[in-house]
Amino acid sequence: MKVLVTGAAGFIGYHTARQLAASGDCEVLGLDNLNDYYPVALKRARLAQLAGLPAFRFVEADFADAARFRELYLSFAPDYVVHLGAQAGVRYSMENPAAYTHSNLVGFSSVLDAARERPPRHVVYASSSSVYGGGAVTPFHEDQRTDSPLSFYAATKKSNEVTAYSYAHLFGLPLTGLRFFTVYGPWGRPDMAPILFSKAITEGKPIKLFNHGKNRRDFTYVDDIVAGVLAAMRTPPTAFADAPPCRVFNLGHNHPVNVVDFVRELESLLGRKAQIELIGPQPGDMVETCADLTRVQAALGYAPRTPLAEGLRAFVEWFRDYHR
């Protein structure tokens, strides 16, 4: 089968493309624009890991360029689309909202329009736990209201879910959105907590913990996330008389961890003490995230298997090797 993976040079996109290309039953086309939101060298290093896989091919292109994306899409004729490309980052969305409009709104429409012209078996796309926003009650269940986003990033992901529903309703396009919860692991993004904290600890620099260190996160190891992505991809939703072929699932670990405890675990693995600065809340941040996995477990049999200590050990091994 043919699978198109957008954001293939990104963190989750890289791991997903790797598993698909190594499976023996897929031809994978990876797409990424290699933007400089964080160092492009890391993205190219991920792609170098994929280059030796015969089933993987990469094209540097922007999926928000509708004409270019349509040309690539129709030429490849994928059976499945895994749309993981997006402008990421809650805090950066306050500095440069235009980047989120371009990739997360215009780009998402570009992907759906191409898929509408030649429907694949299934389109899976990345949403985010950030959509739960203000007033959300943990654990977050997919039926909770998500109309109070606390960041523009979250607003664009909520827009993706609403747009997906309309395309499924109007055109019968099978679509599944996956709300990821704080993903970590080898080859992770340098703007996220694991690398930021690890670099600060090893360099003897202070770590700023927002909300006076009281935030709690549902840290989920990347292999568990990829297992959920692939299970969802292979199980398209079915249309019913009163509902289009469209759904949304949480993908998390369901065991939120205090961020301070996360830092303590890293201290132990790195063999150095952290210099912690407790500061006030950060606009756009959520105090706690925790995934209710009832729906995804019933539909896909999804069950995260990686304890935090095991996942962080694998992350630290990669971190030491990559940053040596």
CA distance 111 to 118: 11
CA distance 137 to 254: 14
**Residue for token digits 């493309």?**
17
Q: CA 82, 36, 198: angle at the middle one, nearest 5?
A: 90
Catalytic residue numbers, as ranges: 153
pLDDT higher than 80, residue 240: no
Q: How many CA atoms lie within 13 A of 194 on its CB side?
A: 27
Q: How confident is the model at residue 91 (pLDDT cuts 50, 70, 90)?
A: confident
User: Taking the model in full, what pTM does it have?
Assistant: 0.96
Interval 232-252 mean pLDDT: 92
At 123-165, the pLDDT tens digits run 999 999 999 998 889 999 999 999 999 999 999 999 999 999 9
pLDDT higher than 90, residue 54: yes
- For 16-86, strand residue ranges (E) read 27-32, 56-60, 80-83
Q: How confident is the model at residue 241 (pLDDT cuts 50, 70, 90)?
A: low
**Residue for token digits 């509708």?**
66
- Write phi, then psi, for 192 (nearest 5 degrees): -100, 165
CA distance 200 to 207: 6
- Hey, what are 134's tokens? 């203000």
Interval 283-299 mean pLDDT: 90
CA distance 20 to 24: 8
**CA distances for 244 relative to 78, 173, 229, angstroms:** 22, 8, 20
CA distance 27 to 5: 11
- Hey, what are 161's tokens? 């879910």
CB 289 within 8 A of CB 255: no
> All domains of the chain, ordered by start, with CATH?
2-184+219-254+289-305 (3.40.50.720)
- Write phi, then psi, for 80 (nearest 5 degrees): -135, 150
